[in-house]
Amino acid sequence: MSYDLLITNGLLVDGSGAPAKRGNIAVTDGKIVELGEVSGRASKTIDASDCVVSPGFIDPHTHYDAQICWDGAVTPSPWHGVTSVIGGNCGVGIAPCLPQAREVAMHDLVNVESIPFDVLKRGITWDWETFPEFLDAAERRGPSVNLGFMAPLTPFRHYVMGDESIERAANDAEITQITALLSGALDAGAFGISSTILNQHLGYNGRPLACRNASRAELKSYANLLRDKGRGAIEIALTRQISVLDEEQVELLDFLLDESERPVTFIAMFDREDLPDALRTTMARIQPMIAKGARPQTSPLPLTREISMRSPFSFGSFPSWQRLFADKSLAAQRAVYADRAFRDQFREELKQPLGSGSWDRITLHECQAEHLKQYEGLTVAEIATAQGKDGVDALLDITLEDNLELEFTVTAYNRRVDRMTELLSDPSVLIGLGDGGAHVDMLCDCGYPTYLLGTWVRERGIMSLEEGVRRLTSDPADFYGISDRGRLAAGMAADITVFDPTAIGSSNRGEKRFDLPGGGKRMVMPSRGVEYTIVNGDVLYHDGALQSGGAGKLLRS
């Protein structure tokens, strides 16, 4: 036999959770045609001796909607063995969008996903208006990875309601129109509907993202749409306090499950040291919803991020900080940081369990003013002690002294090995939350697959190699109904990752690159041990670099 690609001598981990076995894989026309004792000639042969051969990893939570316009490989995801991504999460996106509303859509991404406005203005091509046209535009680009999308509720509401979507719930006639548009999106290939209720998800002019204004009547109509079609999932950013669901949120989760009769995944389930029992309590509380199809979602990474005081998303859950998103000019932000009333309100809010107020977790990473260099590497708590101030004044005073150019790092969640072992070992938890394409100025978490396999599987041994691969491949594929990917089997798409199990891994800290449109800064996470990332039979990544492109597909549900 003659094949397009032959991978030989690999340890085949097929994504199902079954025991690994040694063998070969033959690929023709972008599909796996034979496995096991395969012999013959091939246009290209890869010797996978000493390597694991697995299905390509599927990232269920990304925000690459805009990045596909300038980077069809949606880097750095394929560096980590990812071959398919799902975008359009958290209710924010760029389709549908009327031409006169493009600035609103871009500012939603600026505030929610911390993507610089100049990057979006330079990079987005806007060769679509409706959501089906957006999917067609993504397909025309010939992406290098497989792209799937949720239908994000915010742009659908804005398309029908205009600026009123930022202010109020939809009326009956508007609900009918929005539901019809969502139906068209699902028919065109959307994998479901996404939304958010998070306080820090602020959109245009610092107002709540439009989908946060959706009433229960709206959500019922949209959920019933999925029920009536018998397909699609719901993704929602649900935990206003990370890992804590109050009565309202539990009831909303149950409501969405009952009204849709479809799977629901929600973020974010992290381990919080400041609320040491929150994770266990919440997981116990939602067991009835898990039985109905709820999938809490987490990342295996310690949540470490940079904080830019020009784009202070990390503080967005505090009501006082919402002023910083209404006018993001330097002068306006300086005025807010200097305002005593703002500082006093923030101090009061820190007394409530809205987020982490532990100044010993926030470290000054880099500053420009020479007289502040002495504080680099110190926590805000240490700087406050040295200056004889409280944390609020210490943070904001040095911010003003450095003209808002300084950067902090914060490690907030997922640091306790025992609690993370419990969370990651729970099969109801969907591993993902890579957020690829989002928060590019402060973090890069989309390297979580290599971190899971390197840190949690090889080093800590909390799950088998076979289970680790299953959680990255067939598990997200089955959740979203991607039937032709996520497993190594004859007839499946040839999305394949070849990695060295003794070397695979990544750090949980990113590196700075200035490769966005216009030279904009972003954080990326390099990988270790990924030998090949193969998309539909085409080698996309090898030897630490992208090799080719254009073999990706638009995934339609």
DSSP summary character for residue 313: G
CA-CA distance, 534 to 545, in Å (whole number)? 13
| Angstrom distance (rounded) from CA 290 to CA 309 | 38
According to the per-residue pLDDT averaged within each range, which of 263-277, 367-381, 467-481 is highest?
467-481
Highest mean pLDDT pick, 319-328, 365-374, 446-455: 446-455
In this prediction, residues 246-271 reach a mean pLDDT of 94
DSSP label at residue 503: T
| 131-140 helix and 172-188 helix, angle to the nearest 10 degrees | 20
Task: Indicate if the pLDDT at residue 111 is higher than 90.
Answer: no
pLDDT score at 357: 52
Picking from 430, 427, 429, 391, the residue whose alpha carbon sits closest to that of residue 408 is 391
Phi, psi (rounded to 5 degrees) for 337: -60, -30
Query: Is residue 441's pLDDT more than 80?
Result: no
Structure confidence at residue 350 (pLDDT): 87
pLDDT digit string (tens) for 7-41?
Answer: 999 999 999 999 999 999 999 999 999 999 998 99
What's the residue count for the chain? 557
Round to whole Å and give the CA distance between 422 and 532: 31
pLDDT at residue 201 in the model:
84
Query: Picking from 132-141, 325-334, 453-462, 521-530, which range would have the lowest pLDDT averaged per residue?
Result: 325-334
What gap in Å lies between CA 183 and CA 225, rounded to an integer?
7
The CA distance from 115 to 521, in Å, is: 10
pLDDT for the residue numbered 240: 67
Cβ proximity of 56 and 534 under 8 Å: yes
Number of other CB atoms surrounding residue 97 within 10 Å: 24
Mean pLDDT of the chain: 93
**What is the pLDDT at residue 508?**
64
To the nearest whole percent, how much of the chain has pLDDT over 90? 78
pTM: predicted TM-score of the whole model, two decimal places: 0.89
pLDDT at 355: 42
pLDDT at position 156:
98
Query: How is residue 176 written in tokens?
Result: 């009918």
Angle between helix 391-401 and helix 380-387 axes, rounded to 10 deg: 90
CA distances from 523 to 167, 408, 441, 508, 511 (A): 34, 14, 6, 11, 5
For 198-212, what is the mean pLDDT?
86
439-454 average pLDDT score: 91
Using the predicted structure, report yes or no on whether residue 484 has a pLDDT greater than 80: yes
pLDDT tens, position by position, 299-320:
999 887 778 888 887 787 788 9
Reply yes or no on whether the pLDDT at 427 is more than 70. yes
Residue 219's pLDDT is 98
Q: Is the pLDDT of residue 358 over 80?
A: no
Select from 265, 240, 336, 300 the least CA-distant residue to 89: 265
Indicate if the pLDDT at residue 457 is higher than 50.
yes
pLDDT surpasses 50 at 354: no
Peptide bond into 143 cis (omega under 30): no
CA distance 454 to 456: 6
Q: Assign 356 a pLDDT band (cuts: 50, 70, 90).
A: very low
* Cα–Cα distance for residue pair 400/382, rounded to 1 Å: 18
- Chain region(s) in the chain for CATH 3.20.20.140: 85-302+414-443+475-480
As its CATH architecture, domain 85-302+414-443+475-480 has Alpha-Beta Barrel (3.20)
